[in-house]
A and B are shown apart, each in its own frame.
Chain A
Amino acid sequence: MKQKFAALALALGLTLSLAACGGGNAPAGGESPAPQNSAAPQAAGAYVFTTGDGVTVSVDEDMAQVLTDLGEAQSYFEAESCAFEGLDKTYTYPGFVITTRPDGENDYVNSIRLTDDSVSTVEGVYIGSSEADVKAAYGEDGGADQGMLSYTAGGVSLNFILEDGAVISIEYLPA
């Protein structure tokens, strides 16, 4: 009698410990079509870029708005993607380059890349900063990629490419 109760208790214990460590597995019941509040397109706290003139540009922003804020680009290039409609556009400004992707009628900012040290990130890192500067500004954990430090906040990832310990490229991308 006692033994059997002990066995039952053991079984329960085992199952529960299983339940506890089973967290990583896919839920067996599956998703319900129940609502999940979708996040706003650009969460607060996302990395944004601010130009020398104090204009803020963020990833996923409508390019039309950026163009009104920044004025005409120094140079402009458009590339049609093979086979499909829509143009990927590249706008070059002094110190940075913005590329867009089409979505319906509008173009949205897909990347912002800093190209020289006339501009810097809001957190003060610029082309030529050292690896230590980046880590001081953004933290030690910059991902596992060789030659690159990557940080993500609010759906935007900020990538620093390093060469010989110095930043040679800074790019804002959708995470």
Chain B
Amino acid sequence: MRKKLIFTGVLWCVLLAVALWLLNALFMPKYMSEIPEGALIAEYYNETADHDVVFIGDCEVYENFSPDVLWREYGITSYIRGSAQQLIWQSYYLMEETLKYETPKVMVFNVLSMQYGEPQSEAYNRLNLDGMRLSPQKLAAVEASMTEEESMLSYLFPLLRYHTRWSELTAEDVKYMFHRDPVSDSGYLMNVEVRPAENVPEGAPLADYQFAEVCYDYLDKMVELCENHGVELVLIKAPSLYPYWYGQWEEQMEDYAAEKGLKYINFLELIDEAGLDFSTDTYDHGLHLNLYGAEKLSHWFGSWLRENCPQVADRRGEEPYETVWNEKSEAYAQRKAQLEAAWAAEQKEEPEA
């Protein structure tokens, strides 16, 4: 009798746990048809082959570099672990996590997030952290990122955060309960639209241009981490015209790179050299490059890597890379064709003013 009672109890507890797990899968936002940025972080775990170059940072990396070009033109294998408004501590812990899976030759970090010394918004935190697998790095990243209203518990059990979606569940939520379609090409979120940059406003004067101490702390930790793993850390500032990159900020980054002996590239100064044309190479008036801009930038950066980072090898003809990347290239070309057709159709419908 007693045994039976215990059995019933355990059985029901297991059933409850399974039910909650299923509900969790159902209620998680899927980021398939909307806000694909939210699916970026988790996509990394589907990678089968290692990468020699890993980009880490905010939208200024996942919109501005095309790993496919790096492969096709230079045989460089690369991946972008970028996400929307990725804060520097999130970048650091992603770096740490990436190094658990592989040891690239070069890690590229975009420094725009140096300007944020505090947790910013719950919504972006969710986009950037929910996709991470449960690990000490994830917990640390959550801890560092949480705004006041958030709780760790809701990251461990996202159902506690997303339970209010019960009234807005769609067929997509059922379809993608246990898998996602790839939204990116090796972390690059493709966009082929063209919206020229005009009237980009100058930055408003700031009272204080000094980057926060906590940002420097994380940057120091990145340097140390890369050193310990024998990875070269390259700092970049992507060529996005907006948000405004202040001269005072540039100075601090140049000083930092010099002090640590790091390579630092400010692409804003290389716009002409890379052949970028902000009347055709941006999809949102200068914030992000479109595919054509990203390909030009990657072309330039690939050759820079070839010259300055000889440890990054040409893997063409080498297995498993050849097979993997040929597949990737095919998917890339397909996506490109698809998006271009869609954009052309949209243009025909309502010619952009």
Contact = CB atoms under 8 A, between A and B. Distances in A.
Interface of A: 75-80, 82-84, 90, 92, 97, 113, 145-148, 159, 161, 163, 168-169, 171
Interface residues of B, number: 24
B85 A76 contact: no
B118 to A, nearest CB: 15
Contact of A159 (B37, B59, B207): B207
Contacts of B198: 75, 77
B210 to A, nearest CB: 9
A83 B207 contact: no
A171 B204 contact: yes
Nearest to B37: A83
Contact of A161 (B58, B205, B243, B285): B205
Nearest to A111: B204
B111 interface: no
Contacts of A113: 204
A78 B285 CA distance: 8
A94 to B, nearest CB: 14
Contacts, number: 58
A52 to B, nearest CB: 20
B23 interface: no
Given A83-B84, A146-B208, 9 more contacts: A75-B198, A78-B285, A79-B287, A82-B84, A83-B37, A83-B59, A84-B35, A90-B201, A161-B205
25 contacts: A77-B201, A77-B285, A78-B285, A79-B242, A79-B243, A79-B285, A82-B37, A82-B58, A82-B84, A82-B124, A83-B37, A83-B38, A83-B59, A83-B84, A83-B85, A83-B124, A84-B84, A90-B199, A92-B199, A145-B207, A146-B207, A148-B207, A148-B208, A161-B207, A168-B205
A83 B38 CA distance: 8
A159 B204 CA distance: 12
Contacts of B205: 161, 163, 168-169
Contacts of B35: 83-84
Contacts of B84: 82-84
A147 B198 CA distance: 32
B127 interface: yes
Nearest to B206: A161
Contacts of B96: none
Contact of B284 (A80, A90, A92, A159): A80
Contacts of B123: 84
B208 A147 contact: yes
B160 interface: no
A80 B243 CA distance: 11
Interface in B50-102: 58-59, 84-85
A97 B200 CA distance: 12
Given A77-B200, A82-B58, A84-B123, A145 B85 contact: no
Contacts of A80: 284, 287
Contacts of A92: 199, 201
Given A78-B285, A92-B199, A169 B204 contact: yes
Interface string B230-253: 000000000000110000000000
A83 B198 CA distance: 21
Contact of A83 (B127, B204, B242, B285): B127
B278 to A, nearest CB: 13
Contacts of B85: 82-83
Q: Which has the most chain B C-beta neighbours within 10 Å: A83, A90, A145, A169?
A: A83
* Residue with the greatest number of chain B CB neighbours at <10 A, chosen from A77, A78, A145, A159: A77
B330 to A, nearest CB: 27
A7 to B, nearest CB: 43
A121 B59 CA distance: 37
Contact of A77 (B37, B199, B206): B199
Interface in B90-129: 123-124, 127
B130 to A, nearest CB: 13
Given A146-B207, A147-B207, A147-B208, A82 B59 contact: yes
Nearest to A92: B201
Nearest to B59: A82
Contacts of A77: 198-201, 242, 285
Contacts of A90: 199, 201
